[in-house]
Amino acid sequence: MILNAKCIDCKEPTKFVAGFFDGENGSHGCLYDCHNKKCEIKQIKEISASKEVQERSRVQLANGDKGMYAGYIAALRRDAKVTMFRMAQIGGCSSADYSAYENERKEFDPEVYRKCKEYLNAVRN
């Protein structure tokens, strides 16, 4: 949010609204971005996004080495019309952790993966 605060008063002509947020205690507002490659804030955001992509690739490889594929589980879950919240309950983890597993921000816990896969296979058949 600190980075976004610097964008609020910026007069960059390529600035545009990239999203919205609702915060605590009724705070809300817009998230900004721009097309100015010389903008320090833009450069920080791009570096951060690059690091996130690298981390996601690392998690994909680690999961793949264990025979666990988040995209496969996500596709099965959507086909079965099961919510992420329900999958978290089935796997015995928090919904935040399950979301991180499925979106490849965190390596899948093998036990959670096993429980979810068994459930989804049973629902499909």
The predicted-structure confidence for 51-97, as pLDDT tens digits, reads as follows 888 999 999 999 999 999 999 999 999 999 999 999 999 999 999 99
> What is the amino acid identity at position 17?
V
- Compute the Cα dihedral for 63, 66, 70, 71 and give only its sign: positive
Using alpha carbons only, what angle is made at residue 61 by residues 95 and 70, rounded to the nearest 5 degrees? 35
Residue 1 is predicted with a pLDDT of 52
Is the per-residue pLDDT at 2 higher than 70? no
29's enclosing H/E stretch is: strand 28-33
pLDDT tens digits for 22-63?
878 888 888 888 999 899 888 988 888 888 889 999 999 999
Q: Residue 55: left if φ>0, alpha if ψ -120 to 50, beta else—which one?
A: alpha
Specify the pTM: 0.65
22's enclosing H/E stretch is: strand 16-22
Residue 54 is predicted with a pLDDT of 92
Domain range 67-124, CATH class:
mainly alpha
Structural domain boundaries of the chain? 2-53, 67-124
Residue 62 is predicted with a pLDDT of 96
Token pair recorded at residue 101: 């597993």
